[in-house]
Homo-oligomer: A and B are copies of this chain.
Amino acid sequence: MEDVRKAMENIASHVLKVARNLNEEEVKKFLEILLSAHEKRHKVMVVGAGRSALVAKSFAMRLMHLGFTVYVMGETITPSVNKRDVIIAVSGSGRTQIVVSVASAAKRMGATIVAITSFPDSPLGRISDLIVRIPGRTKIAREIDYFARQVLGQYEPLAPLGTLFEDSALIFFDGVITALMNILGVSEDEMRDRHANVEYIG
């Protein structure tokens, strides 16, 4: 039980740190790209693998609630990519092979690529038009983890694998949604109206 609380506090503190250290220029550009796609009714397409895909889908659902034309790579009715589209690629490491390969293919079609990643200097970062940095477990943290493991044996981090990046990216995206609501003047009621009113799971 104490573990659960401590891990949650650890993640929430990380999110607070991410919020305080957001790069103003990056976020401003990201909002501009999204607002332009909204205004011109260009497609926004999200892509990720594993838990980052789930984070990307959570963002896509809210963009739909705000009236965007938005698609998830890999779902049934996702159409072809063209040069007016914006691709939002989510990968903590920036080296998830399939995400890099989708982003590269979309780039060849002339689309605008936005990378949400901890590593600007990564295969994904290098092909992107805009990088929004969301730190995950830092390199130093990894080295401390490694050192601790050597010394302490059983030591494990409070948030395994990509957890810190994924949870921070989700909450960053939710912050972006709030900003878009305010800028676009979309009310929560309008969002609720666009929200699926015929419930299903899946």
Contacts and interface: CB of A to CB of B under 8 A. Distances in A.
Given A4-B175, A73-B201, 9 more contacts: A1-B22, A1-B28, A11-B15, A57-B76, A81-B197, A99-B201, A102-B201, A157-B188, A161-B192
Interface string A63-84: 1110000111111111111000
Contact of A178 (B7, B16, B102): B7
A141 interface: no
Interface of A: 1, 3-9, 11-13, 15-16, 18-20, 22, 24, 27-28, 31, 47-51, 53-55, 57-58, 60-65, 70-81, 96-99, 101-102, 105-106, 109, 154, 156-161, 163, 166-167, 170-172, 174-179, 181-182, 185, 187-188, 191-202
Contacts of A175: 3-8, 11
Contacts of A53: 201-202
Contacts of A97: 101, 105, 199
Nearest to A163: B174
A35 to B, nearest CB: 13
Contacts of A22: 1, 4-5, 8
Contact of A198 (B28, B65, B105): B105
A195 to B, nearest CB: 6
A98 B96 CA distance: 13
A182 to B, nearest CB: 6
Contact of A156 (B8, B70, B187): B187
B178 A158 contact: yes
